Amino acid sequence: MVSGLAPEQRRAAIARGDFSHLADSEVMLELKAGNMDAFDVLLAKYRKPMVHFMFRMVHNQAVAEELAQEVFLRVYRSRETYRAEARFSTWLYRIATNLGVNYARDTRYERTAATVYLDEVDAETGMTPDVADTTPSAEVGLLREERMEAIRRHVMALPERQRNAVLMHKYQGMDYQQIGEVLKLSESATKSLLFRAYQTLREKLKEFV
Amino acid sequence: MTKEGMSEGENMKELTRTINCKTCGKHFADLLLDESFAAQVREAGRQQTGPDAEAGAAAEPIHGAAAMQVAAHLAGCATCREELEQLQATYALLDSWTAPEPSAFFDSRLHVRLREVRAEEPERLWSRVRSFFLYSTRQRLRPVLAGALAVAVIAGGGGTFAGLYGHQDAMAIKTSPTVNDLKILDNNAQALQQMDELLDSGNDNSAPPVS
Protein backbone atom coordinates (compact mmCIF):
# COMPACT_ATOMS: atom_id res chain seq x y z
CA MET A 1 0.00 0.00 0.00
CA VAL A 2 2.89 2.34 0.70
CA SER A 3 5.90 2.72 -1.58
CA GLY A 4 9.27 1.58 -0.33
CA LEU A 5 11.02 4.82 -1.32
CA ALA A 6 13.06 6.83 1.16
CA PRO A 7 11.50 10.24 1.94
CA GLU A 8 14.18 12.12 -0.06
CA GLN A 9 13.79 9.85 -3.06
CA ARG A 10 10.05 10.19 -2.78
CA ARG A 11 10.24 13.98 -2.74
CA ALA A 12 12.66 14.00 -5.68
CA ALA A 13 10.39 11.69 -7.69
CA ILE A 14 7.37 13.87 -7.00
CA ALA A 15 9.31 16.99 -7.94
CA ARG A 16 10.15 15.34 -11.27
CA GLY A 17 6.46 14.52 -11.74
CA ASP A 18 7.22 10.82 -11.44
CA PHE A 19 4.46 9.17 -9.43
CA SER A 20 5.12 5.66 -10.73
CA HIS A 21 6.74 4.45 -7.50
CA LEU A 22 3.99 5.80 -5.31
CA ALA A 23 1.01 3.84 -4.04
CA ASP A 24 -2.38 5.26 -5.01
CA SER A 25 -2.99 6.37 -1.45
CA GLU A 26 0.27 8.34 -1.52
CA VAL A 27 -0.71 9.94 -4.82
CA MET A 28 -4.01 10.88 -3.21
CA LEU A 29 -2.16 12.43 -0.29
CA GLU A 30 -0.21 14.49 -2.82
CA LEU A 31 -3.51 15.71 -4.25
CA LYS A 32 -4.60 16.53 -0.72
CA ALA A 33 -1.44 18.60 -0.37
CA GLY A 34 -2.51 20.58 -3.46
CA ASN A 35 -0.52 18.86 -6.21
CA MET A 36 -2.89 18.75 -9.18
CA ASP A 37 -0.54 16.48 -11.15
CA ALA A 38 -1.59 13.77 -8.71
CA PHE A 39 -5.18 14.13 -9.90
CA ASP A 40 -4.13 13.48 -13.49
CA VAL A 41 -2.18 10.41 -12.40
CA LEU A 42 -5.23 8.95 -10.66
CA LEU A 43 -7.44 9.90 -13.59
CA ALA A 44 -5.13 8.15 -16.07
CA LYS A 45 -5.11 5.00 -13.98
CA TYR A 46 -8.80 4.75 -13.12
CA ARG A 47 -10.53 6.46 -16.04
CA LYS A 48 -11.19 3.30 -18.01
CA PRO A 49 -12.16 1.03 -15.07
CA MET A 50 -14.55 3.70 -13.80
CA VAL A 51 -16.25 4.21 -17.16
CA HIS A 52 -16.59 0.45 -17.61
CA PHE A 53 -17.95 -0.02 -14.10
CA MET A 54 -20.47 2.76 -14.56
CA PHE A 55 -21.43 1.58 -18.04
CA ARG A 56 -22.33 -1.83 -16.67
CA MET A 57 -24.35 -0.17 -13.94
CA VAL A 58 -26.34 2.20 -16.14
CA HIS A 59 -25.96 0.75 -19.67
CA ASN A 60 -25.65 4.14 -21.29
CA GLN A 61 -22.26 5.47 -22.31
CA ALA A 62 -23.07 9.17 -21.94
CA VAL A 63 -24.54 8.67 -18.48
CA ALA A 64 -21.72 6.31 -17.53
CA GLU A 65 -19.11 8.91 -18.49
CA GLU A 66 -20.95 11.64 -16.63
CA LEU A 67 -21.14 9.49 -13.51
CA ALA A 68 -17.48 8.49 -13.84
CA GLN A 69 -16.58 12.18 -14.07
CA GLU A 70 -18.67 12.82 -10.97
CA VAL A 71 -16.68 10.11 -9.17
CA PHE A 72 -13.44 11.94 -9.94
CA LEU A 73 -14.94 15.28 -8.96
CA ARG A 74 -15.98 13.80 -5.63
CA VAL A 75 -12.47 12.50 -5.16
CA TYR A 76 -11.23 16.04 -5.71
CA ARG A 77 -13.85 17.61 -3.43
CA SER A 78 -13.15 15.09 -0.66
CA ARG A 79 -9.38 15.36 -0.83
CA GLU A 80 -9.24 17.34 2.42
CA THR A 81 -10.99 14.60 4.37
CA TYR A 82 -9.14 11.68 2.75
CA ARG A 83 -7.37 9.39 5.19
CA ALA A 84 -5.00 6.76 3.84
CA GLU A 85 -6.47 4.09 6.09
CA ALA A 86 -7.80 1.84 3.36
CA ARG A 87 -6.77 1.21 -0.20
CA PHE A 88 -7.49 4.14 -2.48
CA SER A 89 -9.37 1.89 -4.90
CA THR A 90 -11.68 0.75 -2.10
CA TRP A 91 -12.58 4.35 -1.39
CA LEU A 92 -12.99 5.08 -5.10
CA TYR A 93 -15.30 2.11 -5.70
CA ARG A 94 -17.34 3.00 -2.64
CA ILE A 95 -17.98 6.43 -4.15
CA ALA A 96 -18.73 4.87 -7.53
CA THR A 97 -21.07 2.24 -6.09
CA ASN A 98 -23.02 4.85 -4.13
CA LEU A 99 -23.36 7.04 -7.20
CA GLY A 100 -24.44 4.15 -9.42
CA VAL A 101 -26.95 2.83 -6.91
CA ASN A 102 -28.42 6.30 -6.35
CA TYR A 103 -28.70 6.86 -10.08
CA ALA A 104 -30.43 3.52 -10.52
CA ARG A 105 -32.88 4.32 -7.72
CA ASP A 106 -33.59 7.82 -9.00
CA THR A 107 -34.30 6.65 -12.53
CA ARG A 108 -36.03 3.38 -11.71
CA TYR A 109 -39.31 4.52 -13.22
CA GLU A 110 -37.78 6.28 -16.18
CA ARG A 111 -35.83 3.32 -17.49
CA THR A 112 -38.19 1.23 -19.51
CA ALA A 113 -37.28 -1.18 -22.24
CA ALA A 114 -37.40 0.50 -25.60
CA THR A 115 -39.73 -1.20 -28.03
CA VAL A 116 -38.74 -1.15 -31.65
CA TYR A 117 -41.37 -1.62 -34.31
CA LEU A 118 -39.75 -2.83 -37.49
CA ASP A 119 -42.52 -1.57 -39.76
CA GLU A 120 -42.73 1.93 -38.32
CA VAL A 121 -40.73 4.92 -39.50
CA ASP A 122 -38.40 6.39 -36.91
CA ALA A 123 -39.55 9.88 -35.90
CA GLU A 124 -36.03 11.29 -35.81
CA THR A 125 -34.37 9.70 -38.83
CA GLY A 126 -37.40 9.07 -41.03
CA MET A 127 -36.15 5.54 -41.72
CA THR A 128 -37.30 2.10 -40.81
CA PRO A 129 -34.99 0.14 -38.50
CA ASP A 130 -32.41 -2.07 -40.13
CA VAL A 131 -33.51 -5.64 -40.25
CA ALA A 132 -30.80 -8.24 -39.92
CA ASP A 133 -29.71 -9.85 -43.14
CA THR A 134 -29.21 -13.56 -43.37
CA THR A 135 -25.46 -13.72 -43.82
CA PRO A 136 -23.68 -15.88 -41.21
CA SER A 137 -21.62 -12.98 -39.82
CA ALA A 138 -24.73 -10.92 -39.22
CA GLU A 139 -26.36 -13.85 -37.48
CA VAL A 140 -23.32 -14.33 -35.31
CA GLY A 141 -23.41 -10.61 -34.50
CA LEU A 142 -27.08 -10.79 -33.59
CA LEU A 143 -26.52 -13.80 -31.38
CA ARG A 144 -23.69 -12.03 -29.66
CA GLU A 145 -25.89 -8.98 -29.10
CA GLU A 146 -28.68 -11.14 -27.77
CA ARG A 147 -26.31 -12.93 -25.41
CA MET A 148 -24.87 -9.66 -24.15
CA GLU A 149 -28.32 -8.25 -23.60
CA ALA A 150 -29.37 -11.37 -21.67
CA ILE A 151 -26.26 -11.19 -19.49
CA ARG A 152 -26.86 -7.51 -18.82
CA ARG A 153 -30.52 -8.06 -18.02
CA HIS A 154 -29.90 -10.92 -15.62
CA VAL A 155 -26.93 -9.31 -13.89
CA MET A 156 -28.95 -6.15 -13.40
CA ALA A 157 -31.88 -8.18 -12.08
CA LEU A 158 -29.74 -9.52 -9.23
CA PRO A 159 -30.27 -8.03 -5.77
CA GLU A 160 -28.29 -4.81 -5.36
CA ARG A 161 -25.41 -6.19 -3.29
CA GLN A 162 -25.02 -9.32 -5.42
CA ARG A 163 -25.03 -7.21 -8.57
CA ASN A 164 -22.36 -4.84 -7.25
CA ALA A 165 -20.27 -7.76 -6.02
CA VAL A 166 -20.42 -9.45 -9.44
CA LEU A 167 -19.53 -6.23 -11.25
CA MET A 168 -16.53 -5.71 -9.01
CA HIS A 169 -15.41 -9.34 -8.98
CA LYS A 170 -15.99 -10.39 -12.56
CA TYR A 171 -15.39 -7.16 -14.42
CA GLN A 172 -13.11 -5.10 -12.21
CA GLY A 173 -10.97 -8.04 -11.07
CA MET A 174 -11.24 -7.19 -7.39
CA ASP A 175 -10.65 -9.78 -4.67
CA TYR A 176 -13.08 -10.75 -1.88
CA GLN A 177 -11.32 -8.66 0.71
CA GLN A 178 -11.56 -5.51 -1.35
CA ILE A 179 -15.16 -6.15 -2.41
CA GLY A 180 -15.97 -6.82 1.24
CA GLU A 181 -14.40 -3.49 2.22
CA VAL A 182 -16.44 -1.63 -0.39
CA LEU A 183 -19.70 -3.35 0.56
CA LYS A 184 -18.83 -3.45 4.28
CA LEU A 185 -19.04 -7.24 4.45
CA SER A 186 -16.73 -9.93 5.77
CA GLU A 187 -14.66 -11.93 3.33
CA SER A 188 -16.70 -15.10 3.85
CA ALA A 189 -19.97 -13.19 3.47
CA THR A 190 -18.67 -11.69 0.22
CA LYS A 191 -17.72 -15.11 -1.07
CA SER A 192 -21.13 -16.50 -0.21
CA LEU A 193 -22.85 -13.48 -1.79
CA LEU A 194 -20.90 -13.94 -5.00
CA PHE A 195 -21.57 -17.65 -5.19
CA ARG A 196 -25.30 -17.13 -4.77
CA ALA A 197 -25.18 -14.57 -7.57
CA TYR A 198 -23.33 -16.93 -9.92
CA GLN A 199 -25.74 -19.73 -9.11
CA THR A 200 -28.67 -17.50 -10.01
CA LEU A 201 -26.96 -16.51 -13.23
CA ARG A 202 -26.32 -20.17 -14.08
CA GLU A 203 -30.06 -20.80 -13.87
CA LYS A 204 -31.03 -17.71 -15.84
CA LEU A 205 -28.42 -18.02 -18.56
CA LYS A 206 -28.76 -21.77 -19.11
CA GLU A 207 -29.86 -21.39 -22.72
CA PHE A 208 -26.67 -19.52 -23.65
CA VAL A 209 -24.26 -21.97 -22.06
CA MET B 1 -1.63 -40.01 6.84
CA THR B 2 -2.14 -43.68 6.13
CA LYS B 3 -4.44 -45.63 8.34
CA GLU B 4 -2.85 -48.63 9.94
CA GLY B 5 -3.35 -51.77 7.91
CA MET B 6 -4.53 -49.97 4.77
CA SER B 7 -2.65 -49.60 1.53
CA GLU B 8 -2.41 -46.18 -0.18
CA GLY B 9 -4.98 -47.32 -2.75
CA GLU B 10 -7.43 -48.36 -0.07
CA ASN B 11 -6.87 -45.09 1.70
CA MET B 12 -7.78 -43.21 -1.48
CA LYS B 13 -10.99 -45.22 -1.83
CA GLU B 14 -11.78 -44.39 1.77
CA LEU B 15 -11.40 -40.69 0.98
CA THR B 16 -13.81 -40.87 -1.98
CA ARG B 17 -16.52 -42.35 0.18
CA THR B 18 -16.46 -39.61 2.77
CA ILE B 19 -18.47 -36.88 1.01
CA ASN B 20 -21.87 -36.76 -0.64
CA CYS B 21 -23.32 -34.36 -3.24
CA LYS B 22 -24.37 -31.83 -0.60
CA THR B 23 -20.88 -31.62 0.84
CA CYS B 24 -19.39 -31.49 -2.62
CA GLY B 25 -21.74 -28.61 -3.49
CA LYS B 26 -20.40 -26.65 -0.57
CA HIS B 27 -17.00 -26.62 -2.27
CA PHE B 28 -18.38 -25.26 -5.55
CA ALA B 29 -17.81 -21.69 -4.39
CA ASP B 30 -14.12 -22.49 -3.84
CA LEU B 31 -13.94 -24.40 -7.11
CA LEU B 32 -15.39 -21.45 -8.98
CA LEU B 33 -13.83 -18.54 -7.16
CA ASP B 34 -10.60 -19.84 -5.64
CA GLU B 35 -8.20 -20.68 -8.42
CA SER B 36 -5.66 -22.36 -6.14
CA PHE B 37 -8.26 -24.76 -4.74
CA ALA B 38 -9.60 -25.46 -8.24
CA ALA B 39 -6.06 -26.26 -9.39
CA GLN B 40 -5.59 -28.62 -6.45
CA VAL B 41 -8.80 -30.45 -7.31
CA ARG B 42 -7.80 -30.71 -10.97
CA GLU B 43 -4.40 -32.08 -10.02
CA ALA B 44 -5.92 -34.52 -7.53
CA GLY B 45 -8.38 -35.66 -10.19
CA ARG B 46 -5.53 -36.29 -12.61
CA GLN B 47 -3.77 -38.36 -9.95
CA GLN B 48 -6.89 -40.39 -9.21
CA THR B 49 -8.31 -40.97 -12.66
CA GLY B 50 -5.57 -40.26 -15.15
CA PRO B 51 -3.34 -42.77 -16.91
CA ASP B 52 -0.90 -42.67 -13.99
CA ALA B 53 -3.65 -43.18 -11.40
CA GLU B 54 -1.87 -46.16 -9.95
CA ALA B 55 1.30 -44.20 -9.46
CA GLY B 56 -0.69 -41.26 -8.04
CA ALA B 57 -2.48 -43.52 -5.60
CA ALA B 58 0.76 -45.03 -4.47
CA ALA B 59 2.41 -41.64 -4.03
CA GLU B 60 1.99 -39.53 -0.94
CA PRO B 61 -1.02 -37.20 -1.50
CA ILE B 62 0.23 -33.66 -2.09
CA HIS B 63 -3.17 -31.93 -1.83
CA GLY B 64 -5.46 -31.18 1.06
CA ALA B 65 -8.00 -33.79 2.08
CA ALA B 66 -10.86 -31.59 0.87
CA ALA B 67 -9.41 -31.30 -2.62
CA MET B 68 -8.87 -35.07 -2.76
CA GLN B 69 -12.41 -35.78 -1.61
CA VAL B 70 -13.99 -33.31 -4.03
CA ALA B 71 -11.92 -34.65 -6.92
CA ALA B 72 -12.89 -38.20 -6.05
CA HIS B 73 -16.57 -37.33 -5.72
CA LEU B 74 -16.62 -35.39 -8.98
CA ALA B 75 -15.02 -38.31 -10.78
CA GLY B 76 -17.88 -40.55 -9.75
CA CYS B 77 -20.87 -38.15 -9.70
CA ALA B 78 -22.18 -36.98 -13.08
CA THR B 79 -24.76 -34.62 -11.52
CA CYS B 80 -22.20 -32.66 -9.53
CA ARG B 81 -19.80 -32.65 -12.46
CA GLU B 82 -22.48 -31.25 -14.77
CA GLU B 83 -23.51 -28.58 -12.28
CA LEU B 84 -19.92 -27.50 -11.82
CA GLU B 85 -19.32 -27.41 -15.55
CA GLN B 86 -22.42 -25.24 -16.03
CA LEU B 87 -21.26 -22.88 -13.32
CA GLN B 88 -17.84 -22.59 -14.91
CA ALA B 89 -19.37 -22.09 -18.35
CA THR B 90 -21.67 -19.36 -17.04
CA TYR B 91 -18.73 -17.69 -15.35
CA ALA B 92 -16.85 -17.73 -18.66
CA LEU B 93 -19.92 -16.56 -20.57
CA LEU B 94 -20.06 -13.38 -18.50
CA ASP B 95 -16.82 -12.30 -20.19
CA SER B 96 -18.74 -11.60 -23.36
CA TRP B 97 -20.41 -8.58 -21.77
CA THR B 98 -18.02 -5.91 -22.95
CA ALA B 99 -18.03 -2.19 -22.20
CA PRO B 100 -17.06 0.63 -24.58
CA GLU B 101 -13.88 2.64 -24.19
CA PRO B 102 -14.14 6.13 -22.70
CA SER B 103 -14.79 8.74 -25.37
CA ALA B 104 -11.98 10.98 -26.61
CA PHE B 105 -13.54 13.99 -24.88
CA PHE B 106 -13.80 12.38 -21.46
CA ASP B 107 -10.75 14.12 -20.01
CA SER B 108 -11.45 17.53 -21.52
CA ARG B 109 -15.06 17.48 -20.25
CA LEU B 110 -13.87 16.40 -16.83
CA HIS B 111 -11.32 19.20 -16.69
CA VAL B 112 -13.98 21.75 -17.60
CA ARG B 113 -16.15 20.46 -14.74
CA LEU B 114 -13.13 20.43 -12.46
CA ARG B 115 -12.41 24.08 -13.25
CA GLU B 116 -16.01 24.93 -12.36
CA VAL B 117 -15.69 23.06 -9.08
CA ARG B 118 -12.46 24.83 -8.25
CA ALA B 119 -14.02 28.21 -9.06
CA GLU B 120 -17.03 27.49 -6.85
CA GLU B 121 -15.00 26.07 -4.03
CA PRO B 122 -15.33 28.11 -0.82
CA GLU B 123 -12.06 29.71 0.20
CA ARG B 124 -10.61 29.28 3.63
CA LEU B 125 -11.56 31.93 6.21
CA TRP B 126 -8.21 33.70 6.20
CA SER B 127 -7.98 33.94 2.42
CA ARG B 128 -11.59 35.20 2.31
CA VAL B 129 -10.81 37.93 4.85
CA ARG B 130 -7.61 38.82 3.04
CA SER B 131 -9.40 38.96 -0.34
CA PHE B 132 -12.08 41.15 1.20
CA PHE B 133 -9.62 43.72 2.41
CA LEU B 134 -7.39 43.48 -0.65
CA TYR B 135 -9.93 43.39 -3.45
CA SER B 136 -13.22 44.79 -2.17
CA THR B 137 -14.31 48.38 -3.00
CA ARG B 138 -14.82 48.92 0.74
CA GLN B 139 -18.38 50.02 0.05
CA ARG B 140 -19.44 46.74 1.54
CA LEU B 141 -17.32 47.66 4.51
CA ARG B 142 -19.47 50.70 5.41
CA PRO B 143 -22.45 48.91 6.95
CA VAL B 144 -20.02 46.69 8.78
CA LEU B 145 -18.21 49.73 10.15
CA ALA B 146 -21.50 51.40 11.07
CA GLY B 147 -22.58 48.28 12.88
CA ALA B 148 -19.25 47.98 14.65
CA LEU B 149 -19.47 51.64 15.68
CA ALA B 150 -23.00 51.16 17.05
CA VAL B 151 -21.84 48.18 19.02
CA ALA B 152 -18.91 50.19 20.39
CA VAL B 153 -21.16 53.11 21.38
CA ILE B 154 -23.66 50.86 23.09
CA ALA B 155 -20.96 48.93 24.86
CA GLY B 156 -19.04 52.09 25.81
CA GLY B 157 -22.11 54.12 26.87
CA GLY B 158 -23.62 51.25 28.72
CA GLY B 159 -20.30 50.68 30.38
CA THR B 160 -20.01 54.29 31.50
CA PHE B 161 -23.60 54.32 32.79
CA ALA B 162 -23.05 51.11 34.66
CA GLY B 163 -19.73 52.39 35.90
CA LEU B 164 -21.24 55.60 37.28
CA TYR B 165 -23.99 53.84 39.12
CA GLY B 166 -21.66 51.20 40.26
CA HIS B 167 -19.28 53.94 41.48
CA GLN B 168 -22.00 55.72 43.43
CA ASP B 169 -22.98 52.57 45.16
CA ALA B 170 -19.39 51.91 45.92
CA MET B 171 -19.00 55.41 47.38
CA ALA B 172 -22.08 55.00 49.56
CA ILE B 173 -20.82 51.80 50.87
CA LYS B 174 -17.35 53.14 51.50
CA THR B 175 -18.38 56.42 53.32
CA SER B 176 -16.09 56.81 56.30
CA PRO B 177 -17.35 57.66 59.90
CA THR B 178 -15.51 61.02 59.78
CA VAL B 179 -17.48 62.11 56.76
CA ASN B 180 -20.68 61.04 58.50
CA ASP B 181 -19.82 63.11 61.56
CA LEU B 182 -19.06 66.13 59.40
CA LYS B 183 -22.42 65.67 57.65
CA ILE B 184 -24.22 65.54 61.01
CA LEU B 185 -22.44 68.69 62.18
CA ASP B 186 -23.32 70.37 58.92
CA ASN B 187 -26.98 69.39 59.31
CA ASN B 188 -27.00 70.61 62.91
CA ALA B 189 -25.51 73.92 61.89
CA GLN B 190 -28.21 74.30 59.23
CA ALA B 191 -30.93 73.53 61.78
CA LEU B 192 -29.56 76.11 64.25
CA GLN B 193 -29.36 78.70 61.55
CA GLN B 194 -32.99 78.07 60.56
CA MET B 195 -34.08 78.40 64.24
CA ASP B 196 -32.21 81.70 64.58
CA GLU B 197 -33.96 83.00 61.50
CA LEU B 198 -37.34 82.03 62.94
CA LEU B 199 -36.59 83.75 66.26
CA ASP B 200 -35.43 86.88 64.49
CA SER B 201 -38.65 87.04 62.48
CA GLY B 202 -40.70 86.70 65.79
CA ASN B 203 -39.12 89.90 67.22
CA ASP B 204 -39.85 92.00 64.12
CA ASN B 205 -42.45 94.74 65.09
CA SER B 206 -42.49 96.62 61.88
CA ALA B 207 -45.79 97.25 60.12
CA PRO B 208 -46.89 94.76 57.60
CA PRO B 209 -46.37 95.83 54.04
CA VAL B 210 -49.26 97.59 52.36
CA SER B 211 -50.61 95.63 49.57
Query: A75 CB contacts (<8 Å, ≥6 apart)?
Result: A28, A31, A39, A42, A92, A95
CATH number of A12-112: 1.10.1740.10
Closest CA in chain A for residue B115: A73
Q: CB distance B91–A199 less than 8 Å?
A: no
**What is the rounded CA–CA span in Å between residue A156 and residue A158?**
5
Q: How many CB atoms lie within 10 A of CB A68?
A: 27
In this structure, are residues A148 and B98 in contact, taking their beta carbons and an 8 Å threshold?
Answer: yes
Q: What is the pLDDT along chain A (209 residues), one digit of tens a residue?
A: 556 677 888 888 888 888 888 999 999 999 999 999 999 999 999 999 999 999 999 989 999 999 999 999 999 999 988 888 888 999 999 999 999 999 988 887 765 544 445 555 554 455 555 555 556 678 888 888 899 999 999 999 999 999 999 999 999 999 999 999 999 999 999 999 999 999 999 999 999 98
Residues of A in contact with B86 (CB under 8 A): 202, 206, 209
Q: CB distance B110–A148 less than 8 Å?
A: no
Q: Report phi then psi at B124, rounded to 5.
A: -70, 160
Q: CB distance A199–B87 less than 8 Å?
A: yes
Q: Which of B93, B100, B117 has the CB atom closest to A208's CB atom?
A: B93
Alpha-carbon gap: B40 to the closest alpha carbon of chain A (Å): 19
Q: What is the pTM of this model?
A: 0.66
Crossing angle (nearest 10°) for helices B78-93 and B65-76: 100
pLDDT at A135: 62
Confirm or reject contact between A43 and chain B (CB < 8 A): yes
Model ipTM value: 0.79
Q: CB distance B90–A77 less than 8 Å?
A: no
Q: Report the range out of A85-94, B8-17, B38-47, B131-140 with the highest average pLDDT.
A: A85-94
Q: Which of A55, A151, A166 has the CB atom closest to B96's CB atom?
A: A151
pLDDT at A115: 46
Q: Which of residues 59-78 of A touch B (CB under 8 A)?
A: 61, 64-65, 68-69, 72-73, 76-77
Would you list the domain boundaries of chain A? 12-112, 134-209
Which of A71-75, A79-83, B114-118, B197-201 bottoms out in mean pLDDT, i.e. has the lowest? B197-201
For testing contact with chain A, the best of B36, B93, B120 (most A CBs within 10 A)? B93
pLDDT at B76: 85
Q: CB distance A51–B29 less than 8 Å?
A: no
Class of domain A134-209: mainly alpha
For testing contact with chain A, the best of B97, B112, B123 (most A CBs within 10 A)? B97
pLDDT tens by residue, B153-188: 887 766 666 666 655 555 556 677 888 888 898 899
